[in-house]
Amino acid sequence: MEYRKKHNIKENKTYFLTMTVVNWVDVFTRKNHCDAIIESLKYCQKEKGLQIFAYCIMSNHIHMLVNTLSPFELKDVIRDFKKFTAKKILLQIQNEPESRREWMLHQFEIAAEKSAKHKNYQFWQVGNHAIEIYSQNFIWEKINYIHNNPVKAGYVVESSHWRYSSASNYQEKESVLEVEKILL
C-alpha cells in the first residue's frame, strides 16, 4: 500500500503526528521500550530543536503535537528519531528479557521483506500520518484526543494517570517528559 503524500511533513510547521509500529505490534507495553522513547524525545528537545506540545505513547503507536525551532527541520528530526528508536528498541528486544522476542522479531522480519528500504527488520510503519495544525480549535481537538487516548482504550480512568502522556503536564502534575504547554 502506497503511503498517501497528503499526510507527509511538508513544511516546518506544527503537526499532529501518529507513528505506528509495523503490524500494530504491542511493543510499548514494556517500561524499557517506553523509556527509550522518552530518552530519545528528550535528546531531540535538547539537541535538535524539537518542541513537543502534547504526546502519548500507547501500546503500539505514539501521538504527538510537535514542531521544531530553526534551523532544524521537523521531517529530519522525526526521521532521525524513528531510525534511532527502531535500532535501540530492536536491540532491547534481542538482548533484554522479553517473552515475546521470537514472535516480535518475526513480525519485524516480515515487514522488512516487503520493504526495499529495510534489510533485516522494519520497526516503524512508513509515514507519520502528519496533519498540519490550522487553527486554535484544531490544536485543542488534537490535544484532547491525544490525552484521552488511554482513557478511551480503558487503560486509565483519568488521562493524567497515564505515565507516558503529557496530560499530567497540563494538570500541573509530575511528568516523565517536559512539554511546551499551549495556553487557552
The per-residue pLDDT for range 59-75, each reduced to its tens digit, is: 999 999 999 999 999 99
167 vs 31: CA distance, rounded Å: 18
The pLDDT of residue 2:
39
Summarised one tens digit per residue, pLDDT across range 116-128 is: 888 899 999 999 9
The residues pairing with 39 across neighbouring beta strands, listed in sequence order, are none
DSSP state of 125: P
45 vs 77: CA distance, rounded Å: 10
Per-residue pLDDT at 5 exceeds 90 = no
pLDDT band at 6 (very low <50, low <70, confident <90, very high): low
Which domains are seen in the chain, by residue range? 5-170 (3.30.70.1290)
Summarised one tens digit per residue, pLDDT across range 68-103 is: 999 999 999 999 999 999 999 999 999 999 999 999
Kind of pairing, strands 50-57 and 15-20?
Answer: unpaired
pLDDT band at 3 (very low <50, low <70, confident <90, very high): very low
First CA to last CA distance, the chain: 39
Grid cell 499551549 is found at 182
The pLDDT of residue 4:
43
Grid cell 511538508 is found at 10
